[in-house]
Amino acid sequence: MAATLEEEVAYLRGKVEEHSKAWSDLKDMMINHDAKMIAFEQRIDRRFEAIDRRFEAIDKRFEAIDRRFEAVDRRFEAIDRRFEALDQKFSRYFLWIIGIQVSVLLAVIASMLRH
């Protein structure tokens, strides 16, 4: 059965229409896919922005904690200076006490030697 030229042309037109429809569907699918990818990228960007905000909040908390530790360090430094001053004061008092004891001892020895 040989097909006539008109039948062949009609067949080819049908095939071309099918291919055109398939390309159109493929184009629509690609556009839809692009829209989905853009939406996905936007969601990911929003999540990363939220994560960045959380990290910034955590950084601020750590900075506050660092400031507190610095304040505690300053307090300990002040206490250390006080202890050093007390240590020096006690050392001076100790020397005075030793000096007084030696003086009393010498006075006792001198009074014993006189009698």
pLDDT score recorded for residue 78: 96
- pLDDT recorded at residue 3: 73
Encode pLDDT of 54-97 as tens digits. 999 999 999 999 999 999 999 999 999 999 999 999 999 999 99
Q: Using the predicted structure, report yes or no on whether residue 2 has a pLDDT greater than 80.
A: no
* Average predicted confidence (pLDDT) for the chain: 94
- At 7 the pLDDT is 87
One-character DSSP codes across the chain:
-PPPHHHHHHHHHHHHHHHHHHHHHHHHHHHHHHHHHHHHHHHHHHHHHHHHHHHHHHHHHHHHHHHHHHHHHHHHHHHHHHHHHHHHHHHHHHHHHHHHHHHHHHHHHHHHHH-
Q: What is the pTM of this model?
A: 0.51
